[in-house]
C-alpha cells in the first residue's frame, strides 16, 4: 500500500532502519531504491543506536561512508518500552538522548548532527525546500487543469436546475444545434469542424446510391439456360398449333416483364439501407442531448416515426415506377436495338470473332480505356512466404488490370494481374478474424497467380469491401453466378453479350433445337438484353432521386419546421428536460474540481518562497543493494550484532 504514496515525485521518503539489523537488508531502503533510484527524495534514519552490541557502532553509516545516500543518515535514540511503562516524559527522553550522543566516543564529534531535535529541523528544512522546488510545476499543472475545466464549467456557472426558463432555452438551443448538425452531416460542410476520422452519413448514403445499389442489381442471380428455355416455351405457346413464320413480340414482352419485376427487390433493399443509415445519423446528431435522456429519446422517436412513414411512401413510389415500366414496353426508345438489328447481331458477332482474337474480344467490353478506377490498401491472405500469410499492399485498379505495390508511393510494383475472364466471390471470415474477405478467381479453374486458384483479399470494414466490389464491377469483373448479359451496365457492347450468350446456349444443349426456333430465341434474347439495359439505367437514375425527395429532403424539412411543435405536443416539457443522474453527478464533480483548483492556486499564491535552504547534495554511488562481496567467498557477512566498520571491499563497491 505504501507504494501508492512513495512513487509520487512530490513525496519525500523517510527510510527508517534499526541500528541492530543489517543495513544492506533494510526493507525501507530497498523500497526507496525502487521508486527513487537517484536518491533525490530519500532521507535515512537510524534508530536503536543504544541497543547495539558492546564494541560496535554505526559511525560509518552516520558519516555516510557505508551505503551512502545523497541526503545522508540521521541517528536517533527513542524511548524504550521500559521508559514508556515508567512514564518517562519527552523532555527527559530528549535529555537522555543528548547525553548519550555527547558521552559516546564514536558519536561525540557529530553529536550536533544527531538526535530527534536535529531530525525535526532537517525534515522541516527539507520539506520546505521540496515544496519550494515542486510548487512551480504544481502551479503550472493546476493552471492548465483550470483552463481545461473552465471550458466545460462555463455552461454550469449560472445553471439552476429548477428554473423552467433555462430548460426551455436549453431545449431550443439543442433543437437548433440538431438542425445544423443534421444538415451538415447530410449535405456536407467546408467548415473546420469537418470529420477527418470516418465518413459522414451523407457520404455513406452516397456510397449506397452509387456503389452498393448498382452492385445489388448485378448480384441478382441470372440463369442463362433457364432464360433461353423460357423464351423457347413462350414462342411455342404463342404459336400454339400453328407453325410460326415470324418471331412473336409477345414472347419478348412476357420475358421482359418477368425480368423487370425482379428489380423491385434491390430497389426496396436500397430504401432499407438508406433508412438504417438515417437512423445512425439521427442518433449521432442527438448525442448532444445525452444530458437530457428523455428529450433525446423523444426526439429520436419523433424523427424516426416520421422517417418510417416516409419509408413506406417511398417504397410505394418505387413499386409504382417498376409497375410503370411493366405497363408499357417502349420499343421506340432511341437506345433499343429493334427486331431488325437483333436478328443481325449473331452474324455480326461471328464475323467480328473471325477478325479478333479471344483476348482482344474479352477486353472489348472495357470501353473506358486503361484508366484508373480505384486506389487503396487491401490485405492479401494467400500470397505470403507460406500459405496462410497475409500482408497489406497498395492496390491500383484500372479497367484492364489490377496491380499492387509495396506502399502508396507506387515505386515498387509487386505484380500486375489482368482482369480478363476473372470473377468475384465472397469468402467467410476466418476464425477470430474481423476482416471482411472476397476473392478473385477464374471460373474455368485456371491459376490466377502462380500456383493459386484465387486471390484472397480483405478490407477492414464491409463498406470498403462494397466499394471495391462496385469498382470491380465498373472494370467488368462480376460476382459469381451472375451473368454479364443481365447486369444493366451500359459499358458492355452487344457483341460481347452475344458471344457469352452463344457459349451459354451451346452449354445448354440448344444446338439440337430447331434452327428456326433457335434463331427466334436468339433474337428475343438480344431484344431482352437491350431493353433491360434501358430499364436498369433508368432505375439506377430514378431510385436515388426518389429516395432523396421522399425521405431525406423530407426529413430535413420536418426537423427544421415541425420537430419543435411535435416535442411541445408530446407531453410535459419539465419532465422531458429532467437531467440524468449521471449528468447531475458529472456536473457536481466538475464544479467541485473547478473550485478546488481555484482554491489550490490561491493557497499556492500565498506561500512565501523566501526560505533559507541548502542545495541537494551531489549524487553518490548507491549500487549497494546488489549482492554483497560475491567475489570474495572467504569474507562472511557481519552478524546483526557485529561491528559496523566498512571493509575495504565494501568501500570499493561501485
CATH number, domain with residue 80: 3.40.50.300
Q: State residue 126's pLDDT score.
A: 82
Distance of CA 500 to the CA centre of its chain: 44
Predicted pLDDT of residue 222? 63
pTM: 0.58
585 falls within a domain: no
pLDDT digits (tens, 9 = 90+) for 356-408: 434 433 444 444 456 888 888 998 887 655 545 678 899 999 988 999 898 88
Residues 138 and 604 sit within 8 Å (Cβ to Cβ): yes
Q: Is residue 592 part of a domain?
A: no
The answer as to whether 28 is a domain residue is yes
Note down the domain range covering 434: 367-475
Mean pLDDT, to the nearest integer, of 596-618?
70
Residue 285 placed within a domain: yes
Residue 16 sits in the same domain as residue 120: yes
**382 and 325 fall within a common domain:** no
- Tell me what the mean pLDDT of segment 595-604 comes to: 85
Check pLDDT > 70 for residue 417: yes
Same domain as 319, residue 194: yes
Angle at 413 between CA 409 and CA 414, to 5 degrees: 130
Residue 384, domain CATH: 2.30.29.30
Same domain, 46 and 87: yes
How far apart are the C-alpha atoms of 597 and 22, rounded to whole Å? 46
What's the whole-number average pLDDT of the chain? 78
Tens digits of residue pLDDT in 532-572 = 889 999 999 999 999 999 999 999 999 999 999 998 888 77
Count of structural domains within the chain:
3
Domain check: are 441 and 327 in the same one?
Answer: no
DSSP string, 489-507: -TTS-HHHHHHHHHHHHHH
Residues 315 and 198 in one domain: yes
Residues 325 and 456 in one domain: no
Q: Is residue 152 part of a domain?
A: no
Does residue 174 lie in a domain region? no
Distance CA 29, CA 16 (A): 8
CATH number at residue 331: 1.20.120.1240
Does residue 347 lie in a domain region? no
Q: Choose between 13 and 228: higher pLDDT.
A: 13
Is the pLDDT higher at 401 or at 230? Answer: 401
Sequence-distant contacts of 438-441: CB under 8 A, at least 24 apart: 438/465, 438/468, 438/469, 440/402, 440/472, 440/477, 441/480
Domain-ending residue, one of 524, 559, 575:
575
Same domain, 381 and 504: no
Sign of the alpha-carbon torsion through 443, 446, 451, 455 = negative
pLDDT of 492 over the 60 cut: no
Asked whether residue 116 falls in the same domain as residue 51, the answer is yes
Same domain, 419 and 564: no
Q: Is position 272 within any domain?
A: yes
Does residue 16 sit in the same domain as residue 87?
yes
Closest to 347 measured CA to CA, from 460, 499, 195, 124: 499
Q: Chain centroid to CA 17: how far? A: 53
Question: Is residue 519's pLDDT more than 80?
Answer: no
More confident residue, 619 or 439: 439
- My answer on whether 563 and 629 are in the same domain is no
Mean pLDDT value across residues 174-187: 90
Amino acid at each position: 500500500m505504501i507504494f501508492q504514496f512513495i512513487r509520487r515525485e512530490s513525496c519525500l521518503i523517510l527510510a527508517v532502519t534499526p541500528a541492530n539489523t543489517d543495513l544492506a537488508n533494510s526493507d525501507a531502503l530497498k523500497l526507496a531504491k525502487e521508486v527513487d533510484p537517484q536518491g533525490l527524495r530519500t532521507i535515512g534514519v537510524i534508530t536503536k543506536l543504544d541497543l547495539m552490541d558492546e564494541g560496535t557502532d554505526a559511525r560509518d553509516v552516520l558519516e555516510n561512508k557505508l551505503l551512502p545516500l545523497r541526503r545522508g543518515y540521521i541517528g536517533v535514540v527513542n524511548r524504550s518500552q521500559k521508559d514508556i511503562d515508567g512514564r518517562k516524559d519527552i523532555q527527559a527522553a530528549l535529555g537522555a538522548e543528548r547525553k548519550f550522543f555527547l558521552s559516546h566516543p564514536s558519536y561525540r564529534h557529530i553529536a550536533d548532527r544527531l538526535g530527534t531535535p536535529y531530525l525535526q529541523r532537517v525534515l522541516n528544512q527539507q520539506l520546505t525546500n521540496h515544496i519550494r522546488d515542486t510548487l512551480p510545476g504544481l502551479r503550472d499543472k493546476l493552471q492548465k487543469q483550470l483552463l481545461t475545466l473552465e471550458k466545460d464549467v462555463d455552461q454550469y456557472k449560472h445553471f439552476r436546475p429548477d428554473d423552467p426558463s433555462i430548460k426551455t432555452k436549453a431545449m431550443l438551443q439543442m433543437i437548433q444545434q440538431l438542425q445544423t448538425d443534421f444538415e451538415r452531416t447530410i449535405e456536407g460542410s467546408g467548415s473546420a469542424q469537418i470529420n477527418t476520422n470516418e465518413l459522414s452519413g451523407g457520404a455513406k448514403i452516397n456510397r449506397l446510391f452509387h456503389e452498393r445499389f448498382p452492385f445489388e442489381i448485378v448480384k441478382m442471380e441470372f440463369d442463362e439456360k433457364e432464360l433461353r428455355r423460357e423464351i423457347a416455351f413462350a414462342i411455342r405457346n404463342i404459336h400454339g398449333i400453328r407453325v410460326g413464320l415470324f418471331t412473336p413480340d409477345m414472347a419478348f414482352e412476357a420475358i421482359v416483364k418477368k425480368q423487370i419485376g425482379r428489380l423491385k427487390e434491390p430497389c426496396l433493399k436500397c430504401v432499407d439501407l438508406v433508412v438504417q443509415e438515417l437512423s445512425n445519423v439521427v442518433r449521432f446528431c442527438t448525442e448532444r442531448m445525452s444530458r437530457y435522456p428523455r428529450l433525446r429519446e423523444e426526439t429520436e422517436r419523433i424523427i424516426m416515426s416520421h422517417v418510417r412513414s416516409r419509408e413506406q411512401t417511398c417504397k410505394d413510389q418505387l413499386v409504382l415506377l417498376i409497375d410503370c415500366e411493366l405497363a408499357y414496353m417502349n420499343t421506340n426508345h432511341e437506345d433499343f436495338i429493334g427486331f431488325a438489328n437483333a436478328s443481325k447481331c449473331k452474324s455480326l458477332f461471328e464475323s467480328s470473332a473471325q477478325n479478333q482474337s479471344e483476348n482482344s474480344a474479352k477486353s472489348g467490353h472495357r470501353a473506358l480505356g486503361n484508366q484508373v478506377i480505384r486506389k487503396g490498401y487491401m490485405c492479401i491472405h494467400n500470397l505470403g512466404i507460406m500459405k496462410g500469410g497475409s500482408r497489406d499492399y497498395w492496390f491500383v485498379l484500372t479497367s484492364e488490370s489490377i496491380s499492387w505495390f509495396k506502399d502508396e508511393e507506387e515505386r515498387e510494383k509487386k505484380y500486375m494481374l489482368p482482369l480478363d475472364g476473372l470473377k468475384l466471390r465472397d469468402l467467410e471470415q476466418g476464425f477470430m478474424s474481423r476482416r471482411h474477405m472476397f476473392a478473385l478467381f477464374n471460373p474455368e479453374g485456371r491459376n490466377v497467380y502462380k500456383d493459386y486458384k484465387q486471390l484472397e483479399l480483405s478490407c477492414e470494414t464491409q463498406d470498403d469491401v462494397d466499394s471495391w466490389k462496385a469498382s470491380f464491377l465498373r472494370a467488368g469483373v462480376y460476382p459469381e453466378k451472375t451473368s454479364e448479359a443481365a447486369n444493366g451496365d451500359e459499358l458492355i457492347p452487344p457483341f460481347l453479350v452475344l458471344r457469352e450468350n452463344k457459349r451459354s446456349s451451346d452449354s445448354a444443349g440448344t444446338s439440337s433445337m430447331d434452327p428456326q426456333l433457335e434463331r427466334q430465341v436468339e433474337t428475343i434474347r438480344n431484344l431482352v438484353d437491350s431493353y433491360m439495359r434501358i430499364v436498369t439505367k433508368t432505375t439506377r437514375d430514378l431510385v436515388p432521386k426518389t429516395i432523396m425527395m421522399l425521405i431525406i429532403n423530407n426529413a430535413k424539412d420536418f426537423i427544421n419546421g415541425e420537430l419543435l411543435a411535435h416535442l411541445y405536443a408530446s407531453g410535459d416539457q419539465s419532465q422531458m428536460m429532467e437531467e440524468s443522474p449521471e449528468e447531475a453527478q458529472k456536473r457536481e464533480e466538475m464544479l467541485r474540481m473547478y473550485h478546488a483548483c481555484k482554491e489550490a492556486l490561491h493557497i499556492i499564491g500565498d506561500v512565501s518562497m523566501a526560505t533559507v535552504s541548502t542545495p541537494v547534495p551531489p549524487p553518490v554511488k548507491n549500487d549497494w543493494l546488489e549482492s554483497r562481496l560475491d567475489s570474495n567467498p572467504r569474507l562472511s557477512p557481519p552478524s546483526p550484532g557485529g561491528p559496523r566498520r566498512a571493509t575495504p571491499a565494501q568501500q570499493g563497491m561501485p
